[in-house]
Structure 1
């Protein structure tokens, strides 16, 4: 059995259905998108493993408010849908079974009302009915443990009665077990042996004498002793401390914060695994990436995804593209704020109409850089590294700071835009997505820093008579124009309210030069190909804009990545005049604007 979705109406800013995958669900999104509200809804709904003290109760503040803080409802509803119930679990959850949703599905609802005195009343219902009360054992079938975002793992693992190790050891050595008796016997023997050591005996005698002298005789006398611990199991396990280290065990205060967090999660998962009275145990972790470097984040996600414990479900919130990209696409729920209200909805990329091939493509390409689209307010998709490097500076030139607008520029490494485009729209990610693509087919080699082996050490590509060797490339572009038209038509078919397609007349570099930027572009070319740059500056002084664009494109086609870096340096100098082509300006302005609505 596992939670498959949370349904919420009137609870804080949550509205609609929020998918939850098993065994791991990753909730991502920008700040204030509602990730923690999903976690809190589960904490209110489910039974805490740590007992009533760990329960989160509804308050008047949990009822939905509008943008100015005025309460908009006196009724809220939360519902959990459980799938994959076994025969035993169906018997236990009989009052919550929902045949309308499937044969092995249960539904648990909570309806809460707020009266005029500010008192909250919550009622629980099960299954398809609106009046079927839920048995206590059904509610207690699902329990949770919560790890807050600001946590002190070392403190939570220190010796004490509330130590998570106590719960684990108590479960592994239940009352009446041989292990429990053996532990108590070891402690008693250790205390007996300790009392035979001369220094311990002398210390105890001196303490006892001074205590006797302080209280003035026998009337107020007490006995003192020195021992390891009370030889009862509960006291023994409460005094056990966790140690960790890469070469030798260390006190947790001497260990790294990240490793302490991993140790703490390991203890919790081990304790949850051995619990036999709950049908499902849920571990709720906010920001598990805290203090973990990217490789450890990746390993943590891979472990949680591959866990074979079917009775434990882990639900995490994250701001980390590393963690989001490490999880399978199906595990990710994107939390989205409405652009016009305070409400939030949930979306899963796996539900955006992708076929198996497109979903596999998205899994491969949703790496740490591209996963940033899950946290963005707008996205610009580009073909290569040149556009990715230069676009933020061009946006500054037209008065739009992409970081301040929440816009991410993503390089898809070619023209395979379709798997990404399916992520955007009113019923998907309700962000504006702009595609900037070339009007001519992409040329080989790809946009990187490597030049062909025939390039001279100085970086200049010239024929023996000093002319640029670009004729073959220009002829090839002419031959491929018809092929590209089909690519362009396919892209343009995606154009709509959430997506715009902006095509260069030819290529990114060609259109930049055509806009009258040929001189600053030659400045950028100079560190790479000084002879070519110097010659073209003279040769193109009286040329047409088209010829200038042709010559500059031919000069940079084998070093586009390096050229983009130099061009970005030139454009960053605001004293240098630089004109932004209209199609790029339109893409920037579109992606920085907001859609009018988000569907539930």
Structure 2
């Protein structure tokens, strides 16, 4: 048996979310604050017996803030099971949660809802907006109850179903709680903790204190019950030894002297009549179960034979590894029990653990028969995870969406994507937007260009720039789709239009013209394929350099940056002067041929690196790159970000500026109304690159 899906309604930062799971390892990826911990906690609420029993009584802060007013609403968390077989361990679970349709599927649901009295009152007030609103306003968290049910088949993520079964809060219409639709709500039952084995390995923070804490230490959990496995003879010998030690310590003269001193002081203070009798005795527990709980870990170093010291002497990463090892041993012990299923949940194993160990930990459990749920924001773990086993959390303006990146992709497509997703490229799984580029030239120069021209890095804009090391974008861009990752992916590539004038009849081409014509044909073919690939998908779009990245960069009036690079390429002043003359020529057949010759001479990547060192706030950004940035942001940038870029532009030299002093003065006098400042910037600097970018964004 395994969990096939998790559905969450109104819980913490999930207004409505659905996770899809497979057998084996399942990875939940997401940026910080996207809800990875909340998703795992939702699983734990349903299945983790180690949680306190009163944990199911939630607080008002557990309601999703996107609800607005939480009062009267329900929190609903459901897990769907599959392959509930006739195996003995599954029978009770199938009896309580299994659907009565002959399938091997089942559902366990947790409701946090208003109690019957409140639901009855809301039903009776249906249609009376004033009375219903008054009842809702008076609801407190104490009016709520936690309920578990099995076999529910209602989809509470559907707004229509939610209105029917919970209530229509706009029209103040609420269902009759006496109409018990068992098929929809399920049959009330007790928690099913005993039917499954559930091991949770929390995010690794201050592990040393947990290892030493009696309540939290996984070592204590492993030692519980161990006394029953120790022979009577060994148990008796240990008890005798402890008793002898207690007696020996208690009878020491030094201990007796302290005891007599305390007694004497008491007599002097309150007299003989009111003084209690004092003695000091060693009280090591002689009961074996209590004695075992006093055991503690000591640690040594692989490089120092025979030494073993306190946990505090160990590095944080080493302590984390020990903690993980203890939890995994606890999990292995639980496997011995005949349960319906084994679940291992690991939260962010990357914290303080070396890259190689992250991959080893993941790959070792990927082959285990137990179903594993692992949350992470590690690019190293995500690079070895299968996209068919991923759920990706996307955070957008306080709204969390859940994506399944392999939806409706065939295994061959998934395999190709997984081969591309190394630790560098897998950052696209965490980004708010993605730009795919052909190679290292764009990868080096575009980030520098954006930072110098706009004052913010691509990372600050939430954009991952990914080099494909080729022009084959279709495989990776397939991830971005309404059915998969609903984030925007821009593709930047070249049309490779010939900079050399070509004869009407290609039969007349010389060798160089033939090469240019072939590149131009390839560019047009690539455009046709990409246009076809993106035409019905609002989450992908391609943006083209008319010629090539280098030619269009110079063509955007950036020859000065290339001229400053020439001394790093040539030693002879005559060679530098000749190249400058060609780069300053306004004809693309002249400057285009020269920049391509320089790129061929030193390599595109090296030329981009040299050029990136010369980029300033006065460098122009080719418009097709600004178009790609706007698209990858979903045509949305917060006003604060736009304002920050405007301030940066005004405080640095700009290539285009009308009445600069007037714009700066306006900004100085309008600290509060940042939208007015942005509008003024566009008005005063209509031809600036930033104004162009803002114009491509949604208002």
What's the TM-score bracket when you normalise by the shorter of the two chains? 0.7 to 0.9
Residue 223 (structure 2) aligns with: 169
Once residues 269 and 7 of structure 1 are traced to their aligned partners in structure 2, the CA distance between those partners, rounded to angstroms, is: 27
| 2:547 pairs with 1:488 | no
- Shift, 1:42, TM fit: 2.0
Once residues 576 and 241 of structure 2 are traced to their aligned partners in structure 1, the CA distance between those partners, rounded to angstroms, is: 85
Residue 564 (structure 2) aligns with: 523
1:219-368 aligned at under 5 Å gives the runs 220-221=276-277, 223-226=279-282, 229-247=284-302, 248-275=307-334, 276=337, 278-308=339-369, 310=370, 313-338=371-396, 342-351=398-407, 353-368=408-423
- Shift, 1:7, TM fit: 0.8
Residue 513 (structure 1) aligns with: 554
- Shift, 1:556, TM fit: 0.9
Once residues 365 and 578 of structure 2 are traced to their aligned partners in structure 1, the CA distance between those partners, rounded to angstroms, is: 60
Cα distance change of structure 1 residues 420 and 540 upon mapping to structure 2, 3 Å threshold: closer
- Shift, 1:420, TM fit: 1.5
Q: Secondary structure at the match of 2:212?
A: coil
Residue 25 (structure 1) aligns with: 26
- Do 2:3 and 2:82's aligned partners in 1 also have CA atoms closer than 8 Å? yes
Once residues 523 and 99 of structure 1 are traced to their aligned partners in structure 2, the CA distance between those partners, rounded to angstroms, is: 77
Tell which deviates more after alignment, 129-138 or 502-511: 129-138
Residue 467 (structure 1) aligns with: none
Cα distance change of structure 1 residues 526 and 2 upon mapping to structure 2, 3 Å threshold: farther
Once residues 43 and 335 of structure 1 are traced to their aligned partners in structure 2, the CA distance between those partners, rounded to angstroms, is: 19
- Do 1:50 and 1:145's aligned partners in 2 also have CA atoms closer than 8 Å? no
Q: Secondary structure at the match of 1:563?
A: helix
- Shift, 1:62, TM fit: 2.6
1:78-117 aligned at under 5 Å gives the runs 78-86=77-85, 87-93=87-93, 94-98=95-99, 103-114=103-114, 115=118, 116-117=139-140
Deviations along 1:447-491, one digit per CA (max 9) or x if unpaired, are xxxxxxxxxxxxxxxxxxxxxxxx967643423433443322111
1:390-469 aligned at under 5 Å gives the runs 390-396=445-451, 399=454, 401=456, 402-440=458-496
Cα distance change of structure 1 residues 394 and 232 upon mapping to structure 2, 3 Å threshold: same
- Shift, 1:511, TM fit: 1.7
Tell which deviates more after alignment, 256-265 or 69-78: 69-78
- Shift, 1:8, TM fit: 1.6
Q: Secondary structure at the match of 1:548?
A: helix
- Shift, 1:540, TM fit: 4.8
Structure number with larger C-alpha Rg: 2
- Shift, 1:182, TM fit: 6.0
Once residues 207 and 144 of structure 1 are traced to their aligned partners in structure 2, the CA distance between those partners, rounded to angstroms, is: 51
Residue 545 (structure 1) aligns with: 588
Residue 447 (structure 1) aligns with: none
| 2:598 pairs with 1:555 | yes
| 2:187 pairs with 1:187 | no
Once residues 227 and 475 of structure 2 are traced to their aligned partners in structure 1, the CA distance between those partners, rounded to angstroms, is: 53
Residue 121 (structure 1) aligns with: 145
The alignment yields a C-alpha RMSD, in angstroms, of 3.3
Deviations along 1:374-414, one digit per CA (max 9) or x if unpaired, are 22111110011110111123334664732332111111111
Once residues 599 and 276 of structure 2 are traced to their aligned partners in structure 1, the CA distance between those partners, rounded to angstroms, is: 95
Once residues 609 and 59 of structure 2 are traced to their aligned partners in structure 1, the CA distance between those partners, rounded to angstroms, is: 54
Q: Secondary structure at the match of 2:613?
A: helix
Once residues 292 and 450 of structure 2 are traced to their aligned partners in structure 1, the CA distance between those partners, rounded to angstroms, is: 61
Where does the alignment leave 5 or more consecutive residues of structure 1 unmatched? 443-470
Cα distance change of structure 1 residues 182 and 359 upon mapping to structure 2, 3 Å threshold: farther
Q: Secondary structure at the match of 1:403?
A: coil
The structure with the greater share of residues assigned to helix is 2
- Do 1:40 and 1:56's aligned partners in 2 also have CA atoms closer than 8 Å? no
Q: Secondary structure at the match of 1:405?
A: coil
Q: Secondary structure at the match of 1:516?
A: coil
Tell which deviates more after alignment, 558-567 or 288-297: 288-297
Residue 568 (structure 1) aligns with: 612
1:3-42 aligned at under 5 Å gives the runs 3-14=3-14, 15-42=16-43
Once residues 298 and 636 of structure 2 are traced to their aligned partners in structure 1, the CA distance between those partners, rounded to angstroms, is: 52
Once residues 60 and 213 of structure 1 are traced to their aligned partners in structure 2, the CA distance between those partners, rounded to angstroms, is: 58
The structure showing larger relative contact order (alpha-carbon pairs under 8 Å, at least 6 residues apart) is 1
Cα distance change of structure 1 residues 281 and 427 upon mapping to structure 2, 3 Å threshold: same
- Shift, 1:274, TM fit: 1.5
Residue 458 (structure 1) aligns with: none
